[in-house]
Amino acid sequence: MENLTESTASTIESAKTSKKVPITVAYGDGIGPEIMSASLNVLKAAGARLEIDKIEIGEKKYLNGNSSGIESTSWDSLRRTRVFLKAPITTPQGGGYKSLNVTIRKVLGLYANIRPCVSYHPYITTKHPVMDVVIVRENEEDLYAGIEHQQTDEVVQCLKLISKPGTEKIIRYAFEYARAYNRKKVSCFTKDNIMKMTDGLFHKTFDRVGAEYPDIEKEHWIVDIGAAKLADTPEQFDVIVMPNLYGDILSDVAAQITGSVGLGGSANIGDGFAMFEAIHGSAPDIAGLNLANPSGLILASVQMLVHIGQSDVAEKIHNAWLRTIEEGIHTSDIYNPSTSKLLVGTKEFANAVIERLEQQPIMFRPVDYSASVADFNIKVTPVKPANKELVGVDIFLHYKERDPNKLAELISDLDANGMKLTMITNRGTKVWPDGFPETFCTDHWRCRFKNDMKNGVSYQSVVDLMQKIHHKKLDIIKTENLYLMDGVSMFSAGQGQ
Ligand code: NAD
């Protein structure tokens, strides 16, 4: 198979030599076709060197019985061009339709989601006049692995998966981005005071990788207070890197407080593939009315042009767009009679940008992409296999009686080849031994069987133990092995243990 990174390099090379760069374009649903036409008009007028391959995705495909919303020929186009400019699509409600955005991100390995969130005070009304934050969101892992199960009548679970390579890639990306775009600080948000292993890995990797960037200031915030500070004083942030779920939520918050979600563009970057889109959805409430603000998709197109090595065109469009905004030519979502001069529709806004393509903004600082790097060298440290030793097992049971002591009576004397019942938890809280009678218990129990950790146990002992539990007519819903890795226990303690 062709080397992906080489392929990206050849895309950029062809851009430099004025050869047209093939890109795949989807017009999407709702306001998608209007804002895509407007954006492509701007790209064309600005002299973007593009060869466009149009595909159809989204609502029509879903409703024609394609549960993924995309046909195989469209994947062929994406494999060929490796660059995707996408308008928003509508995911029909109900019917088990899978989110096409999540599918595209995962299938193409688009691990980095980059969302610049900038306020355009005083021309666009915002409570935060000084705001220029870039959110770098991990795009593939975390709770978005989408692995969910209902295990008992009362309890449903979703697995949060955080990998070492996935984390290192996104954190390196954030630091490389900061360096390339002359940014001074990278902040990291996690909840590692609670999720010490998953978010803890993210935080530790941030500290380890960050040490390789002494020129960039670094800080870590627990996500709740970090989010509060971001919403209150966004001016104190520069680049923020986050795991998937926090990044998803907070990038919308950050975009909204700049003035409108209609302004935000976003890049989804992988090793050799990239997708660019507005951050908003298909806005069916205003579809077909020439009301939509095409700015999000225009600014996503600017990110795309930088990515494919056409920084000259990117700069021209971005500066013309800034000039249009500061002249008060606004679509209805950002129109404010006290600061705006002219209320325009989608097409007219794009035409106003086109008319200003040779102009620079006067009030805003013009953008300069001449030194911008399109492709970062994101290396991943190989993970050294640890010496892994099995020392016990957490056996999860569906048990309807609400009394942990009764459950303990049934299983505490089981002969488990050196493993003893050491703890029972309910939703993570220790309820046996010495639990509190006040603790509310569901029908979902974790029973920890562990040896003294001096010697490992065999997996056969775990199977034997499960057999014995099964013979007691208890309902095993899942197991998690307990490992020492290089002598260190790699499992969390019970709450209150
Ligand atoms: P939305 O972003 O489409 O709309 C939210 C509000 O913002 C609406 O009032 C809308 O009129 C307004 N708005 C959005 N974009 C605007 C623009 N460019 N100019 C002016 N106003 C704008 O969010 P929603 O209503 O929650 O979702 C509608 C559909 O979009 C759903 O089917 C959802 O699944 C889909 N969606 C798609 C994407 C995507 O394709 N990337 C992202 C989010 C939502």
Please confirm whether the linkage preceding 433 is cis (ω < 30° from 0).
yes
Please give the share of the chain, as a percent, with pLDDT higher than 90: 80
Report how far ligand 1's centroid is from the alpha carbon of 158 (Å).
26
Query: What pLDDT does residue 285 have?
Result: 96
Q: Is the CB of 262 under 6 A from ligand 1?
A: yes
Of the given ranges (17-21, 139-143, 179-183), which has the lowest mean pLDDT? 17-21
User: Tell me, what's the pLDDT at 119?
Assistant: 93
Calculate mean pLDDT across residues 468-472. Answer: 95
pLDDT at position 63, please?
83
Structural domains in the chain? 6-355 (3.40.718.10), 388-489 (3.30.70.1570)
pLDDT higher than threshold 70 for residue 4: no
**Which residue has the CA at smallest separation from atom 44 of ligand 1?**
281
Span 369-410, pLDDT tens digits: 887 776 788 999 999 999 999 999 999 999 999 899 999 999
Give me the phi and psi of 467, to 5 degrees please: -60, -45
**pLDDT at residue 287 above 90?**
yes
Confidence of residue 11 (pLDDT cuts 50, 70, 90): low
Bridge partners for 136 per DSSP? 114, 241
pTM confidence score: 0.91
* CA–CA distance, 98 with 89 (Å, rounded to integer): 12
Listed range (66-70, 226-230, 255-259, 377-381) with the worst mean pLDDT: 66-70
Q: Is the pLDDT of residue 14 over 70?
A: no
Is pLDDT at 485 greater than 80 in this prediction? yes
Q: Is the CB of 268 under 6 A from ligand 1?
A: no
**Phi/psi class of residue 174: alpha, beta or left (left: φ > 0; alpha: ψ in -120 to 50)?**
alpha
Predicted confidence (pLDDT) per residue in 405-442, tens digit = 999 999 999 988 889 999 999 999 999 999 998 999 99
Q: Which of 79-88, 91-100, 173-182, 344-353 has the lowest mean pLDDT?
A: 91-100
Could you tell me if the CB of 281 is within 6 A of ligand 1?
yes
What does the pLDDT read at residue 8? 53
What pLDDT score does 15 carry?
52
Average pLDDT, the chain: 92
Is the CB of 260 inside a 6 Å radius of any atom of ligand 1? Answer: no
Question: Which residue has the CA at smallest separation from atom 39 of ligand 1?
Answer: 88
Cβ of 283 less than 6 Å from ligand 1: yes
Q: What is the mean pLDDT of residues 304-331?
A: 96
Using a 6 Å cutoff on CB, does residue 333 contact ligand 1?
yes
Closest Cα to atom 42, ligand 1: which residue? 281
Whether 442 contacts 457, CB under 8 Å:
no
**What pLDDT band is residue 65 in, cutting at 50, 70 and 90?**
confident
